[in-house]
Structure 1
């Protein structure tokens, strides 16, 4: 008789057999969870001797000392170190120094990324919403806590933001997008049919898009980059992400935070790429794929229109009609009524035009001042603008830093010359210095031609052009504002006359997706002022609102009948 007992023999035999594959079981829960109540992330003030100021200075010093960082692609759940020539992401305030370098993502790598994303789709969309939401709620806490100083420092060094602009963007707004996004998804999923016939239960299922979403993100807001990938991912979509070349490092940090928060590694594929032919090749590979299901874009109107055309030309290739969501340019206005508080309106114009060097989609660039306030208004405006200091983002006292690149620097100054050639008068600024950083003085131009180049074209820099109108032509000026450009992103009116405010609001109804009364044209807050514009400014799907999440869902209506009929005649058939 063997010395091995029968139970032991069975254990040995079982151990020798290859393991059986586990059955795939969709997770389930017997509870309806309620997410924590969300609030806007408070802004830290970075006052002298504050803890947050010390932490940020330390993070800036550490990043500057360790730069340049080599940013890889992230495909198939792993970092991919690409060969070939590397593109430099310079520090705009000190362009001889690189913050990061990255290689070019090839069309072949793009195809591989798409297949990895599609392979991850089923598991990701089947993950219960509470678990997806938990990832983004944790990411928000990582942004607002552990990584706050680092992501603000990366945004300052790489994108030229001063400390306040980095704080409201990379810390507060990014955390807000993740937290409010989870809450808004919860609200969306709760929208269910209110009527049920006897014996019937109706319900709606919010499925992700069938395929993958392509996210193309801008340089000017780290938070927007996070939201462009975060919103589709929250609703169960998988993504291919092409970040802006001039925001590659902060975008890479956003991805690292999401992965640390528990995002499955194949949900987002990250493909850094320089502008030009390389990006065109990457985009073409994406837009030619049968399973391309959606575009989430923030950038220039020209590029967005080109992408839309390519999608239209490829529509016969796709399994579904792709969702196209885009926020593009703006030529935003401020209308001053004769009843306005002059100083408040002037400070609103200054902040709206020159915060972050005018490189916000919502930045003020067209100013309309009544003749009766001309002298007083421009006296205050010019005096205050000339107090603005321009300098390195590492020197906290500066209100303005650099523009993003040499190309931007050249464009801004070329438009100053165009304004002069069109008869405009430069009241202050109009000069720059790019010897170390891409610095342009805040510029105010007064024009007698309301259709001059700097009143019509988007410049995306610190140039504000003003036009003086006759007080008696207030309504005509409203119509002029509405018809001057193809854009319709933001606008504001400064007025203490309620009747005039109501009239302007009606006449300017379609000229801005975000309209402000006695406030500047910038500064939309997630959960408070959903952001986006129409006409040439985008699809107006409103980032920071429930509406955006519906764009990345396909709704399935489900009708369940508990006791279906067993005979075919209707009552009317009976005699």
Structure 2
């Protein structure tokens, strides 16, 4: 079927603002609605999740399980893994769908994403939240932030930023000419690899390039299969044509191997571990002569995010922001605070505040709304975090002042753990843990500038960081010293919580390519501009005026 390309007006999109957050406070309709949906989803489990290739559900029989991490004997869904033949079919199908999708006018592509956002905001809000809570171990507040508000914002603001990008046109036109720029989708297909920790990230990894007219092969994280499938299904209901996104859960070697050897591979859109991202980058480089174009590589990986505190800081704010940033969603945010630098003049008061506040943290099942914390995602993560806690217990330079216990008998529960070290380059101060463990180094208050250098240069990562100070000159000095240490920098605020349309997200160094999710910058990575010059007056003679005698 030929897709019409007539453009009969310059359309103006609806006004875009951030999705309002619901509170899920006691007695509210939204709490009752979410609780009912959680019970309903539990009753339906285990659900059966297929691959979807060319709009057709495919059940390969190569089945894995997604369990509930707070009750790991409970299976939330089973899902079918793609094999090599199905991955090849998915790539071929995406390429076959490309022409019609690339020729679909922007207003029609935009309408699909705006409708999907509205569907999430209304019809599917509780369903996608319940899947994120039960499958990925989030409490109601974290699920609302992620799978509802942020995903909605990604889709709506993506449309807004795309409109702005398309409007960037040449500033000058010579006499009798018209210059213009079109933002073509990339030649080939985009490969999206999404993580477990944010449902919204999965939606954006596939959605951002597709909004710009690309086709996408999407490999969701095993531990986020159900919520990812719901996102995909919502896009289908919103009108996304078959084949534009191919949904292929599957083991990395089979999926990645097929993708990276294909000559039409055009871009990688990735969020995950630094190790995996570097491996993919190397594999792409090793295949570079096989590709039709140089693939775009867009990725966000790990972090070793910091809170740096000046002697003038507000102690209560430091304590509350550190607890929230370090332990919300069990420290499994790329932006979670993992290392703190506190001045010795404030340390006794900060220490007392941390211990008192830590004692108020409730941890348990995700459908018990009083719990601030839940489980970590799986056995591998549990064992890794446990090993760091055990190391700290045996390290002569480290002291655990709160937490330090763990239990995986029912769910993968790790108690929020606060370590104090006398070595600013200790194992837990420098290595990414990705769990509810924060390490503190107490410095001499008069050595502020030396400690800033330590903060700025003691990590391979540069994702997020915070500076707490009530002294404006100290704030200026700190902001300058830490300029390259974080792609998202916060002053008197925690290192987590970037909002689409407010703080574009991404970092440098080993943390990724810093292409800023939630901005027009990342959309520009998935287009290939074409400059067009049209002349209205014919050239009469090739001779230059300077040639005349």
TM range (shorter): over 0.9
Map 1:5-404 → 2, pairs under 5 A: 24=2, 26-84=4-62, 86-273=63-250, 278-404=251-377
Counterpart check, 1:570 vs 2:547: no
Query: Which TM-score applies when normalising by structure 2?
Result: 0.99
- Which of 432, 441, 462 aligns to 1:458? It is 432
Q: Any idea what the Cα deviations from partners look like across 1:132-180, whole Å, max 9, x if unmatched? A: 0000000000011100000000000000000000001000000000000
SS at structure 2 position matched to 1:351: helix
1:439 aligns with 2:439: no
Structure 1 residue aligned with 2:533, among 535, 556, 559? 559
Pick which of 564-573 and 472-481 moved more. Answer: 564-573
For each residue in 1:64-84, what CA deviation from the matched residue of structure 2 results, as whole angstroms up to 9, or x when unmatched?
000011110001211001123
The separation in 2 between residues aligned to 1:400 and 1:87, in whole angstroms, is 27
**Structure 1 position 417, deviation (Å):** 1.5
Q: 1:55 to 1:25 in 2, by over 3 A?
A: closer
8 Å contact kept, 1:419–1:452: no
Post-superposition Cα deviations, 1:337-382, rounded to whole Å, max 9, x if no partner, equal 1100001111010001000000000000001000101100110011
- Matched residue of 2:449: which SS? helix
SS for the counterpart of 1:180 is helix
Partner of 2:388: 415
Aligned to 2:454: 480
**Deviations 1:99-147 (Å, cap 9, x if unpaired)?**
1111221111100000000000000010000000000000000011100
Q: Which of the pair has more CA radius of gyration? A: 1
Cα distance in 1, alignment partners of residues 519 and 163 from structure 2? 12
Asked whether the 8 Å contact 1:371–1:468 carries over to 2, the reply is yes
Contiguous gaps of at least 5 residues in structure 1? 1-21
Give, in whole Å, the separation in 1 of the partners of 2:5 and 2:172.
29
- Residue 549 of structure 1 aligns with which residue? 523
Offset from partner CA, 1:411-459 (integer Å, 9 cap, x none):
1111012223332100010101111111111100000011111101100
* Cα RMSD (Å): 0.8
Q: Which runs of 5+ in 2 are unaligned?
A: none
Aligned residues, how many? 548
Q: Which residue of 2 aligns with 1:504?
A: 478
* 1:398 Cα deviation from its structure 2 partner: 0.3
SS at match of 1:372: coil
Does the 8 Å CA contact 2:3/2:100 hold for their aligned counterparts?
no
What are the equivalent positions in structure 2 for 1:500-539 lying under 5 Å apart? Answer: 500-539=474-513
Structure 1 contact 422–452 (Cα < 8 Å) conserved:
no
